[in-house]
Amino acid sequence: MVDKLRVVAWNCNGSFHNKYSALAVLQPDIAMISEAYANFNDGLGVSTSSSLWLGAKGKSGLGVLALNGWTLEPVDIAVAQRLFLPFVACRGSHQVHMVAVCTKKSTDYVTPTLAALRDLSGFIQASPTIIAGDFNGSVAFDPNRPVPFRRVIDDLARLNIRSAWHTFRNERFGGETTPTYYMYRREGRPFHIDYAFVSDAFEVEDINIGGHAEWCQLSDHTPISVDLRLPSR
């Protein structure tokens, strides 16, 4: 239905063209793919409405696919930090502001995220926004980090943007029951570092995270999939 949107964010750990069939089972409308190369949408065997990619030549970057009649419009905003990709997803009368994320480390992971959010503040405040991807951060890490990830959560909350997982599942940051990342793909080294942050204007209808057995054959991250009811226009 046109008033619904399914967003899937996944760090595919490269070679996305060999892994798309697994993601397709989740039936995304918008797929945000971290660690994808510039040719990530070649040879998928599926008709995509449009796609975007951000990154450096020859290196993995950040890709976005639109399916099921959705299209993507790039947004010309200078973001000094790497791999923060703003765009507008369009279908019918809906125009949804979105930011795909794959945070890269400077001195830490939180500082570039905060800087990118400042660069994107006008875009984020102009319309209800979805910000999703691999943030490489967790409140569980905060005691041992120079800049706490809690600052990202608090900055977004001031913009009425909250984690769909934590809101819908009623879980606290740092105490998540379901990981999104398994170091070295090992089940014994799990962390929750991928998020879908959404404006309060969206109604979260469901949210799910892939399991280790199925997804860690493909990547060290599992996908996060969120079903949203869009604000009426």
In this predicted model, what pLDDT tens digit does every residue of 135-149 receive, in sequence order? 999 999 999 999 999
Average pLDDT over the chain, rounded to whole? 93
Measured between alpha carbons, how far is 115 from 172 in angstroms, rounded to an integer?
A: 25
Domains parsed from the chain with CATH numbers: 4-229 (3.60.10.10)
> How confident is the model over 185-206, as a mean pLDDT?
93
137 contacts 113 by C-beta, under 8 angstroms: yes
124 contacts 117 by C-beta, under 8 angstroms: yes
Question: Is residue 1 scored above 60 in pLDDT?
Answer: no
Burial class (CB in 10 A: 0-12, 13-18, 19+), 88: middle
- Residue 116: DSSP 8-state: H
Dmax (CA) of the chain: 47
Task: Please report which confidence band the pLDDT of residue 232 belongs to, taking 50, 70 and 90 as the band edges.
Answer: confident
- How much is the pLDDT for 187? 82
Calculate the CA 19 to chain-centre distance. Answer: 17
- How much is the pLDDT for 23? 93
Measured between alpha carbons, how far is 186 from 224 in angstroms, rounded to an integer?
A: 18
Structure pTM?
Answer: 0.95
